[in-house]
Amino acid sequence: MNRRHLMFLALSLPLLQAAPAFADAKFEAFIQTLWPVAKANGISRDLFDRAFAGITEPDPTVLKLANNQPEFTSTTSAYLEKAVTPIRIGTGQQMLASEAKLLSAIEAKYGVDRRILLGIWGMESNFGKDKGSMKVMRSLATLMYSGLKKQYAREQFVAALKILKRGVVTPENFTGSWAAALGHTQFIPTSYLSYAVDWDGDGVKDIWNSKEDALASTANYLAKSGWKADRPWGWEVTLPKGFNLAMIGRQKWRTVAEWQKLGISRADGKPFGSPQASAFVMVPQGVSGPRFLVTQNFMAIMDYNLSHSYALAVGHLADRIRGGGPILASWPDVTYDLTFKQRVELQRTLTAKGFETGGDDGRFGARTYEAIIAFQKSAGLPLDGVPSLKLLERLRKS
């Protein structure tokens, strides 16, 4: 999968302990069918058996969380309210001071803003407090056995065994989230293999017990995902009166200087800086809500977690840790006249017609609003970007 994390991992919460295991013969037999794959990837039979020792039934907590599709009423504003809290901002500011030497050194090497690293650390594990205590191999076997996220789980299964083969962590202590996200900044196994670094020089890339390794690994990840040190992730902006809404979206990259010429300004009235940085206008909760001008660095955060809400939360949390203020524009009500089923149909129909919504989960985010505006433009409709039953009926007819 191209995603580095699942979208639902955006807001890290303490996970429930799994219930005591009871033998499930079919599940145990399924685990044995995984041995040929492990063997083909250079895993010894002894390590395979140790990895699954004592695992005799699917994890019910994994099944519950994997089946828990996001509510269609969930919005970016609701997500930010839970993610960017006064406590998290305050803790981030404390870490900014107490870990200044470490963060400065990592920033100097990788060019990634230290506050962004703190934003991800805070979002993913509450600064190391909630790293996940579920057995990684049981979680992945459960996902494969149930058919939930099967492709993702199979890829992570092989990577997880390779981590165990390296001896970084023992099978008994190999823990993470329900979807096998690991350590302080919740790397999935494939990300660990590709991006983990040994910052503290002890010979082990330990993202579980070394915040130094975890933060440096995250900086390495973002740097290789295209992070550029000469620009921020983005800014909240004000659009000029009469702004052509067809210019909203990731298909309309322009330099910051060009956007300024078109009348876009920062919502807080401060200068942009980074005039040659490319950026696009994003509306995460519709055109009547807050608008943002986001750079390639925003996309680097999305490479870490393919969710606009997550990337915006990380960027905004970083800004608040820096001492910036709250988002200024009001978040609009998005109680549309569509049922959940109709929301999914709207997204699927738009995508089928070539207007990519980024998914059909019934949740309307930046990609869905962009797709609606693009369709309205192609159909000669007013560009209000509003999902509605009337719009769905028009899509059906077209």
pLDDT higher than threshold 60 for residue 113: yes
- Rounded-to-integer distance, Cα 239 and Cα 291, Å: 8
Which whole number is the average pLDDT over 191-214? 97
- In this prediction, residue 22 has a pLDDT band, given cuts at 50, 70 and 90, of low
Which whole number is the average pLDDT over 166-176? 94
Least confident of 31-45, 128-142, 351-365: 351-365
Percent above pLDDT 90 for the chain: 85
* Residue scoring higher pLDDT (12 or 144): 144
pLDDT higher than threshold 50 for residue 211: yes
* Residue 47 exposed, middle or buried by CB count within 10 Å (0-12, 13-18, 19+): middle
- In this prediction, residue 361 has a pLDDT band, given cuts at 50, 70 and 90, of confident
pLDDT higher than threshold 80 for residue 21: no
- In this prediction, residue 335 has a pLDDT band, given cuts at 50, 70 and 90, of confident
Tell me what pLDDT residue 363 has. 86
Tell me what pLDDT residue 67 has. 66
The pair of structure tokens assigned to 178 is: 């329900």
pTM: 0.90
Tell me what pLDDT residue 315 has. 98
- In this prediction, residue 110 has a pLDDT band, given cuts at 50, 70 and 90, of very high
Which whole number is the average pLDDT over 39-53? 96
Contact by Cβ (8 Å): 322, 369: no
Tell me what pLDDT residue 68 has. 61
- The angle formed by the CA atoms of residues 50, 53 and 55, to the nearest 5 degrees, is 140
pLDDT higher than threshold 70 for residue 119: yes
* Residue scoring higher pLDDT (166 or 4): 166
Any residues with CB less than 8 A from the CB of 96 and at least 6 apart, and which? 103, 114, 115, 118, 321
Tell me what pLDDT residue 334 has. 87
Which whole number is the average pLDDT over 17-44? 84
- In this prediction, residue 65 has a pLDDT band, given cuts at 50, 70 and 90, of confident
From the list 157, 214, 222, the residue with the least C-alpha distance to 4 is 222
pLDDT higher than threshold 80 for residue 279: yes
Percent above pLDDT 70 for the chain: 92
Which whole number is the average pLDDT over 378-383? 95
- In this prediction, residue 250 has a pLDDT band, given cuts at 50, 70 and 90, of very high
Contact by Cβ (8 Å): 281, 45: no
Tell me what pLDDT residue 362 has. 87
Tell me what pLDDT residue 374 has. 95
